[in-house]
Structure 1
Amino acid sequence: MTRATKHYVLAAGGTGGHLTPAFALAYELDRRGHHVELITDRRGAEIPGKPDFLTAHILPAGRFGKNPLKWPQGISAVMEGRRMALRLFDSFQPSALVGFGGYPALPALLAASSAGLPSVIHEQNAVLGRVNRLLAGKVNAIATSYPEVDRLKPQYAGKVELVGNPVRPAVLALREEPFPPFIDGGLLRVLVTGGSQGARVLSEVVPDGLAMLPPALRARLQITQQCRPEDLEAVRKRYASHEIPAELATYFEDMEARLADAHLFIGRAGASTISELTAVGRPAILIPLPIATDDHQAANTREIVKAGGARAIRQPNFTAKELAKQIQALAQHPETLANAAHAAWNCGRPDAAEKLADLVESFGGAPIQDVIRVNTGKTATQGSPSGAVATQEMSE
Structure 2
Amino acid sequence: MISRHYVLAAGGTGGHMVPAHALAEELIARGHRVALVTDERGARIPGLFDGVQVHILPAGRLGGGPIGWLKALKNILAGRAMASRLYETFRPSAVVGFGGYPALPALLAAQRDGIPTLIHEQNAVLGRVNRLLARRVDAIATSYPDVQRLKPRHLDKVHLVGNPVRDEVLALRDQPFPALTEDGIFRVLVTGGSQGATILSSVVPDGLGMLPEHFRRRLQVTQQCRAEDIEEVRARYAGLGIPADLATYMPDLPERLAWSHLVIARAGASTIAELTVAGRPAILIPLPSATDDHQTFNAREMARSGGARMIPQLAFTPVELAKQMQKLGLEPEALANAAERAKGCGRPDAAKDLADLVERMSQTPALVGPEEVAFRPVPAGGAMA
Please indicate the TM-score interval, normalised by the length of the shorter structure: over 0.9
The residue aligned with 2:322 is: 324
Matches within 5 A, 1:345-384: 345-369=343-367, 380-384=369-373
For residue 287 of structure 2, the aligned residue among 286, 289, 308 is 289
Aligned: 1:262 with 2:251? no
Equivalence for 2:109: 111
Between the aligned partners of 2:180 and 2:113, the Cα distance in structure 1 is: 57
Quote the Cα distance in structure 2 between the aligned partners of 1:383 and 1:258: 40
Q: How far apart are the structure 2 equivalents of 1:142 and 1:306?
A: 25
Within 5 Å, which residues of 2 pair with 1:182-331?
Answer: 182-331=180-329
Q: Deviations over 1:224-249 (max 9, x none)?
A: 00110111110011111111111111
Matched, 1:387 2:385: no
Q: TM-score if structure 1 supplies the norm length? A: 0.93
Aligned to 1:175, which of 168, 173, 176?
Answer: 173
Distance 1:253 1:142 in 2: 31
Aligned to 1:143: 141
Tell me the CA shift for residue 331 of structure 1.
Answer: 0.9
Q: What do the CA deviations read for 1:76-122 (whole angstroms, capped 9, x no partner)?
A: 00110011111111111111100000001010111111111100000
Q: Bigger CA drift: 49-58 or 235-244?
A: 49-58
**Separation of aligned partners in 2, 1:336 and 1:98:** 41
How many angstroms apart in 2 are the aligned matches of 1:82 and 1:23? 22
Letter in 2 for 1:195: G
* Structure 1 residue 365, shift from structure 2 partner: 2.4
Cα RMSD (Å):
1.2
Paired residues of 1:278 and 1:347 also in contact (CA < 8 A): yes
Superposed displacement of residue 41, structure 1:
0.5
In structure 2, distance between residues paired with 1:346 and 1:166: 16
In 2, the alpha carbon distance for the partners of 1:192 and 1:75 equals 41
* Partner residue of 2:87 out of 89, 100, 103: 89
C-alpha distance in 1 between matches for 2:279 and 2:192: 19
Q: Provide TM-score, normalisation by structure 2.
A: 0.96
| 2:372 partner letter | G
Q: Which amino acid aligns with 2:290?
A: A
Give the 3-state SS of the residue equivalent to 1:4 in structure 2.
coil
Q: Secondary structure at the match of 2:173?
A: coil
Q: Which residue of 1 aligns with 2:382?
A: none
2:120 aligned to which of 118, 122, 144 = 122
The corresponding residue for 2:6 is 8
The match for 1:52 among 47, 50, 57 is 50
| Cα distance in 2, alignment partners of residues 191 and 382 from structure 1 | 46
Q: Deviation per CA, 1:18-75, whole angstroms, max 9, x where unpaired? A: 0101011101111111111010001111211223221110010010134333111111
- SS of 2:6's equivalent? strand
Alignment of 1:73-84 (within 5 A): 73-84=71-82
1:28 pairs, out of 22, 26, 29, with 26
Q: Distance in 1 between matches of 2:9 and 2:352?
A: 18
Separation in structure 2 between the aligned mates of residue 264 and residue 50 of structure 1, nearest angstrom: 27
Contact map agreement 1:4 1:369 (CA 8 A) in 2: no
Which residue of structure 1 aligns with residue 62 of structure 2? 64
Q: Determine the C-alpha separation between the residues in 1 that align with 2:316 and 2:12.
A: 30
Q: 2:99 aligns with which of 96, 101, 104?
A: 101
In 2, the alpha carbon distance for the partners of 1:223 and 1:187 equals: 10
Quick one: distance in 1 between partners of 2:358 and 2:8? Answer: 11
Once residues 160 and 52 of structure 1 are traced to their aligned partners in structure 2, the CA distance between those partners, rounded to angstroms, is 30
Q: Which runs of 5+ in 1 are unaligned?
A: 371-379, 390-396
> Structure 1 CA distance, aligned partners of 2:285 and 2:309?
9
| TM-fit CA distance, 1:4 | 2.8
Q: Following TM superposition, by how much is the alpha carbon of 1:182 offset from its aligned partner in structure 2, in angstroms?
A: 1.1
Deviation at 1:207, TM superposition (A): 0.2
The SS at the match of 1:83 is helix
After TM superposition, the structure 1 stretch with the greater mean CA deviation from structure 2, 111-120 or 353-362, is 111-120
User: How far apart, in 2, do the equivalents of 1:253 and 1:64 lie?
Assistant: 33
The answer to whether the 8 Å contact 1:5/1:369 transfers is no
Uncovered stretches (5+) of structure 2, i.e. residues with no partner = 379-385
The 2-side partners of 1:245 and 1:46 are apart by 33
Alignment partner of 1:17 is 2:6:
no
**Residues 157 and 388 of structure 1: is their aligned pair in 2 closer, same or farther, counting only changes over 3 Å?**
farther
Distance across 2 between alignment mates of 1:133 and 1:46? 27
